[in-house]
Amino acid sequence: MSTLAPIQLWQIPTSSAAEQAQIQPLIQALHEDLRAWANDFERITQANSLAVEDMVITDAIARLGLNIDVFVLDTGKLHSETLAYLDTISQRYPNVAIRRFYPQDSSLAHFAAQHDFSDIYQSLEARKACCYARKIEPLQRALAHYEAWITGQRREQAATRTQLAVEEFDEAHQLHKFNPLAAWTQQQIWAYIQHYDLPINPLYQQGIPSIGCDPCTKAIRRDEDLRAGRWWWENQDSKECGLHAN
């Protein structure tokens, strides 16, 4: 009788001292970009999803003491681990004001009037309506009154991000938008995290390399695409929540 091989979940990449040394030019470039943007824009903010990419940026902002705000969208559906981690990083960076934005009661009521929550697994329209109420509308409030925002998106994360530019204009929000880690690899991100010994979201230790809402995120195998655990029941092409749709 044949036995099934155990599933090998994705694991956190480890970096050598040499790899950590090799990212120093990237860190220098990141610092130069952040300093320049903080200098050019009086009102600039960073979206932090509590993923490692965003922590690299928040850490650099704190390290440089830049006048760049940071916000988190608390969708009401985040994992308990992510919420605990948010408290951890708030304590780690007392010089960074991390603002939280929540869905509006009226938006949630509007969604509930039209859908059961479980509809998100059957209907793309329902899933996008949930993302609108819990992410996109709060994002609009988070970005109001700013001139520019910074994200941790990377080109290799998804088929939808292969053309990502470091600097772009966000037509949807009429803001400058910066993606300073666009060209960074997953290995380089983890080299930064390990070089500075940053705390990480505990979900990474559970085989989840892409952080999202609890009902829409699951662990992946080692051989899967990094975002395969996000909205895993949908086609690759539709797997964005709309936060970064220009």
Site for ligand SF4 in 1-60 (CB under 6 A): none
Q: What would the x/- binding string for ligand SF4 be over residues 103 to 142, using CB under 6 A?
A: -----------------x------x--xx--xx-------
Query: CB-wise, 44 or 228, nearer to ligand SF4?
Result: 228
Residues 6+ apart with CB under 8 A from 17: none
Is 216 a binding residue for ligand SF4 by CB under 6 A? The answer is yes
User: Looking at the DSSP assignment, which residues form a beta bridge with residue 71?
Assistant: 47, 99
DSSP result, 146-212: -SEEE----GGG-GGGTT--SEEEETTTTEEEE-TTTT--HHHHHHHHHHTT----GGGGGT--S--
Q: Does 182 help bind ligand SF4 (rule: CB under 6 A)? A: no
List the catalytic residue out of 130, 213, 216, 241. Answer: 241
> H or E element: which one contains 71?
strand 69-73
Q: State which residue has the least CB distance to ligand SF4.
A: 213
* Angle between helices 52-64 and 24-40 in degrees, nearest 10: 70
User: Any contact of residue 77 with ligand SF4 (CB under 6 A)?
Assistant: yes
Q: How far apart are CA 244 and CA 160, in angstroms?
A: 10
Which range touches ligand SF4 (CB under 6 A), out of 51-59, 64-72, 182-190, 210-218?
210-218
Q: Integer distance in angstroms from the first to the last C-alpha of the chain?
A: 54
79 binds ligand SF4 (CB under 6 A): no
Q: Which residue has the tokens 């559970």?
A: 206
If the CB atoms of residues 138 and 207 are measured against ligand SF4, the closer one turns out to be: 138
The amino acid present at 120, given as its one-letter code, is I
CB of 131 to ligand SF4, least distance (A): 4
- Closest contact distance (angstroms) between CB of 137 and ligand SF4 is 11
Minimal CA–CA distance to 111: which of 97, 126, 99, 122? 126
Active site residue 241: yes
Q: How far is the CB of 155 from ligand SF4 (least distance, A)?
A: 22
Q: Which residues bind ligand SF4 (CB under 6 A)?
A: 75, 77, 120, 127, 130-131, 134-135, 212-213, 215-216, 241
Q: Which residues are catalytic?
A: 241
